[in-house]
Every structure is written in C-alpha cells, then in structure tokens.
Structure 1
C-alpha cells in the first residue's frame, strides 16, 4: 500500500486556487503530483458544485489532464486529497496518513465517475451497442436485456440509433466519440470527466460532440472538461480555471476569466488561441 502525507503538510496554496467548499460535489484540496523530479501539480485546490460545468484551460504541459486523471485515480497523488460526493478518492484515512485502496475498492469508486478521453478507446471487436453494454454487464452485473435497452436509449440520446450494430471501424471519429460518451453514461455516473474530447477530431466533426456535451450540461450533469474550445467554455461553463506550470493561475466565471482576465499569463494564452 502507498502512503501519502496528510494535506496539512503541503506547501501554501496558490493565490488563485479556491478554498475548500464542503458543499461541492468535487473537492480538490491542495493536491500535489510529481513525475520523478518534475512537479506537475503544485498544491491545487478547486471546488466543483453539483450540476455545474468546470472547464480547465491552459497550454500543453500545464497539468490539466493530469489533474483530471487524478480525480478518478488513474494517477496517484503525492499530497492533498480529492473528495467526490463525500468519498475520499483512491485512499483511506488512517491517523494522519492516507493509504491507497485496493484495486477492487478503486474500481467501485470509478463506477460513479465517467471519463471520456482524447482517443475513443472503443473495443474494436464489439459493436456500438455492445461497447456501451460492456461495463454495466461485466462490472455492475446487470442483465443483458436491461443493459441493451439502456444502451439503445443512450445511442438515441447521442443521435446514433441507426449505428447501433456498427463496429468502431465503420464509424467516423465524431461518431466514435459520441459512442464513448454514451458508454461513460451507461454506468449512471455522478460526475463526467472529459479530456480534450474533440482534439483528435476533424474540425467538421467537433460540433456534434460539443452538442452532446451541451445537452448533458443542460440536463444538470456535473462535468469537468479539459478543452481548448473557448466558445464552448464561454457558452456552457459555470467556471473556468486557467492552469499553467502546475498551478491554477486564475479561476472564476467565464465572463471574468475569458472576457476580463486579471492575470497577464491568462491574457497571453487567450490571445494565442483566438
């Protein structure tokens, strides 16, 4: 088991980071992460209220994707803590130390957190509907009939009913990504994580994926999204966090961070992506 020091031993929080919010669905508290000697996340705190969308912006290497992967424990953390709906993610507390959970316990927590990656990661030997059924049947132990009915409902939700029996190789990149979103929704997660879900798509395919994400936001799904789609951030996000060098440089509503940024580094980045 891997032990990490309690978050009270972490360095002082950055000025831009949010204080802990005990009412938020997601509480990221003074999280640190290093790969070797390279500190990727430096004492990050961020709160994501239930039913809201948080967009993480920033240049490559700023720590956005690493932070997202820490939220569902695809990456371990070196300090701090991440709490989702009251559960400490990936660890159990013992005295003033935290110890990593067993793989089975971690998998149970992940069932409540859907994640959509840059690459679609669909099983090539399964059809669209079978890809969506896989986790409910294999992980949650649901009956195949109920799982298939739910999968077909989700395909309808993402506009792909006619493609239920198509294999990934028969689908466009945008269609595969929409299947990947439906697959993540099949476990009825409390939280959805999106790691640059449109970055691998041809420009003409981006809109359909963003439309599905907008509908999820309108339905009240709690979402954390890593993206460079500024228009999506402005129109859908409840808060935007700009990251650089492993810290949150600036965080606030889109009207503040995108339209009236207070930090020069944020202004420079927004100029570069126009």
Structure 2
C-alpha cells in the first residue's frame, strides 16, 4: 500500500527526513515510534501530500504521491488531482480538528457531501452507522464543545472513515487525551485493525503497538534506526538508540 524509498524533507536549513525507507502492506497496522522531533509526523504528512518531499520516491497503492511520471520526467500534479488522491486517505490528528459550529453528525456528513458529491440520504445513513460504530450514536446532535476529548477524537475517526478511505493515518491520536479517555479511542482503532484496514499509526502507546501492530519502526533523527515485528523490537531492541528510548518509557 505504501512504498517509501530514500525520502528526504527539509524545512529551511533543517533536514527533518534523511532517507526514510519502508514498506506498508495492504491490511497492515504499521506503527511508527520515536522521540519528539524525529520526523514521524512529517513523514505521515508526506504520505497524503500535506507536505511535499524534497527527494526520494513515495507511492501509495502504486501511484506516486503528488507527481506523475512521463518517461523519465516527474510532473507535479495539479491541486485538484492531489485533493482527489488525498480524499482516499483518512487522517486523524492529535488535535481533533472538528468543525466547532457543526454537530457530530454534521461533521461526519460534511466531506462526503461536499467532496464526493454524495446525496444527503446516503451520507446520513453512513454517518449514523459510523457514529454507532464508534459508540456515539447517542451524541449525534452534540457540538464538539459538548463532547469530551475522547469523544471528539472518535467523531474525528468516524469523519475520516466516512470518505471510505483505503488507508488511515493516525498522528498520535491519543496524546492530547486524559489517560482515562484513551482506551475508548484505542478500542475503535483495534476494531478497524480487525476489519483489515491499512493503518499507519504514530504512537506512544506501546501496548497498542505490541498487541495490534503488524510492523514497527523506530525513527530517530529523520532515519529508520530499527524495524521489525512490534513484539520483537519492544521486548528485545537491538540498536542502542532504541534501547535507550524504550528504557526511558519503562
């Protein structure tokens, strides 16, 4: 589903990604861990072209991200095509980014109607089913300000799913939540994994990575330092930098 080869990204003089190589298989839960500032979130934003890579080759489902290739020449995609591709990728942020003036139901319905031009009837039917799935059917008419952080994040997940994405990106989806609210969000993510959704998850929730993840990479300084099955990396890290990072979490 994702193929990243020698991905580089800089902001001004700061090189944030320094040659990322990784592959994510369809149906896989792929976890990214590492210290703050290591490039994890930047890489996630490159996948759906919220950031443009400076060098390397990044493909999602076989298609180059942000570019088309004609012969040996790469051409930047027009914004309309980028938006169409981005609509196939769901993204859930640390901060929930819900529309404050819309109810939970309206938040979930908005993109399918506006972006995919779906009928209100179809969008409503799917939105109700998704709110039920994330355990918030009874909160459909509540505004974000009337919801807890965990409930807002579950609405955000339902909103991303409403576009029927082939890939879901999670950027530390529980880091802004009170500890007692984390479990409900992770449970929704577990159920997505059980259904075979391809997921890339930037997380500090090591138990989730160990129990649900199929693959894990430790990123530091814009590079993949160590990768493998989550249980192997988390219980028996090989690289000194990974060992140091995990020991501070324990």
SS of the residue 2:235 aligns to: coil
Q: 1:244 is matched with which residue?
A: 220
Q: CA deviation at 1:186?
A: 0.3
Q: 1:112 is matched with which residue?
A: 88
CA distance in 2 between counterparts of 1:102 and 1:251 reads 35
Q: CA deviation at 1:81?
A: 1.7
Match of residue 136, structure 2, among 160, 174, 177: 160
SS of the residue 1:258 aligns to: helix
Match of residue 145, structure 2, among 153, 169, 175: 169
Q: 2:236 is matched with which residue?
A: 260
Cα displacement string for residues 111-147 of structure 1 (whole angstroms, at most 9, x for unaligned residues):
1100000000000111101000000000000000110
Q: 1:215 is matched with which residue?
A: 191
Q: 1:99 is matched with which residue?
A: 75
Q: CA deviation at 1:95?
A: 3.9
Q: 2:21 is matched with which residue?
A: 45
2:107 equivalent to 1:125: no
Q: Name the Cα RMSD after superposition.
A: 0.8
CA distance in 1 between counterparts of 2:75 and 2:19 reads 19
Q: 2:47 is matched with which residue?
A: 71
**Under a length normalisation based on structure 1, what TM-score does the superposition of the two structures give?**
0.90
Q: 1:180 is matched with which residue?
A: 156
Aligned residues: 250
CA distance in 2 between counterparts of 1:48 and 1:212 reads 21
Q: CA deviation at 1:99?
A: 2.6
Q: 1:90 is matched with which residue?
A: 66
CA distance in 1 between counterparts of 2:102 and 2:231 reads 43
Cα displacement string for residues 177-217 of structure 1 (whole angstroms, at most 9, x for unaligned residues):
00000000001000000000001001110000000001000
CA distance in 1 between counterparts of 2:176 and 2:237 reads 28
**Under a length normalisation based on structure 2, what TM-score does the superposition of the two structures give?**
0.98
SS of the residue 1:93 aligns to: strand
Q: CA deviation at 1:85?
A: 1.0
SS of the residue 1:189 aligns to: coil
Flag structure 2 segments of 5+ consecutive residues without an equivalent: none
CA distance in 1 between counterparts of 2:28 and 2:163 reads 19
Match of residue 201, structure 1, among 177, 189, 213: 177
Q: CA deviation at 1:69?
A: 0.3
